[in-house]
Amino acid sequence: MYPNTSLILTNIPTGLPTPNKDLTPLPRPLDITTPPSQPHTLLTKLLYASLDPYMRGRMRPATTKSYSPPYALNEPITAYAVAQVVHSTHAAFTKGEIIYARLPIQEYSNRFDGAPSPVHKIPTPLPAGIELSQYVGILGMTGLTAYAGLFEIGQPKAGETVFVSSAAGAVGSIVGQLAKRVGCRVIGSAGGERKRRYVIEELGFDECFDYKVEGAREALARLVGGEGGTGVDVYFENVGGEQLDAVLEVMNNWGRIVACGMVSQYNLKPEEKYGVKNLYAIVTKRLRMRGFIVGDADIGPKYIKERDEKVTQWLQEGSIQAKEDITVGIENGAEALVAMLRGDNLGKAVLKVADPDL
Domain-embedded: residue 236: yes
- How many Cβ atoms are within 10 Å of 304's Cβ, its own excluded? 14
Specify the pLDDT at position 267: 75
Q: pLDDT tens for residues 218-274?
A: 999 999 998 889 999 999 999 999 999 999 999 999 999 999 999 888 877 888 888
Do 170 and 229 fall within a single domain?
Answer: yes
Query: Do 42 and 90 meet the contact criterion of CB atoms below 8 Å apart?
Result: yes
CA distance 6 to 23: 10
* Rounded average pLDDT over 98-115: 90
Side chain identity at 124, as an amino acid letter?
Answer: T
Q: pLDDT confidence of 37, banded at 50, 70, 90?
A: confident
Give the predicted TM-score (pTM) of the model: 0.94
Same structural domain for residues 110 and 206? Answer: no
Q: What DSSP state is assigned to residue 152? A: I
Edge-to-edge strand list for the sheet holding 232-237: 207-210, 185-190, 161-164, 232-237, 251-259, 288-291
Find, among 338, 294, 350, the residue nearest to 51 by Cα. 350
In a domain, 254, yes or no: yes
CA–CA separation, 127 and 198 (whole Å): 27
Quote the domain boundaries for residue 329: 5-137+323-352
**Residue 226: its pLDDT value, please?**
84
**Contact call for residues 58 and 71 (beta carbons, < 8 A):** yes
Higher pLDDT, 197 or 35: 197
Please provide the average confidence, as pLDDT, over all residues in the chain. 95
What's 69's domain CATH number? 3.90.180.10
**Beta-carbon count within 10 A of 63 CB:** 6
CA end-to-end span of the chain: 23
pLDDT at 228 (0 to 100): 84
pLDDT of residue 190: 97
Q: Is residue 304 part of a domain?
A: no
Residue 103's φ and ψ, nearest 5 degrees, are: -135, 160
CATH value at residue 205: 3.40.50.720
pLDDT band at 114 (very low <50, low <70, confident <90, very high): low
The per-residue pLDDT for range 48-88, each reduced to its tens digit, is 999 999 999 999 999 999 989 999 999 999 999 999 999 99
**Residue 283 exposed, middle or buried by CB count within 10 Å (0-12, 13-18, 19+):** exposed
Q: Which residues contact 344 (CB under 8 A, 6 or more apart)?
A: none
Residues 252 and 212 in one domain: yes
pLDDT band at 126 (very low <50, low <70, confident <90, very high): very high
Query: Residue 104 in contact with residue 76, Cβ under 8 Å?
Result: yes
Task: Look at the chain and report how many structural domains it folds into.
Answer: 2
Question: For 283-322, what is each residue's pLDDT tens digit?
Answer: 999 999 999 999 999 999 999 999 999 999 999 999 999 9
Q: What local confidence, expressed as pLDDT, does residue 115 receive? A: 62
**Angle at 141 (CA atoms; ends 14, 244), nearest 5 degrees:** 55
Say whether both 150 and 280 belong to one domain.
yes
Q: Is residue 310 part of a domain?
A: no
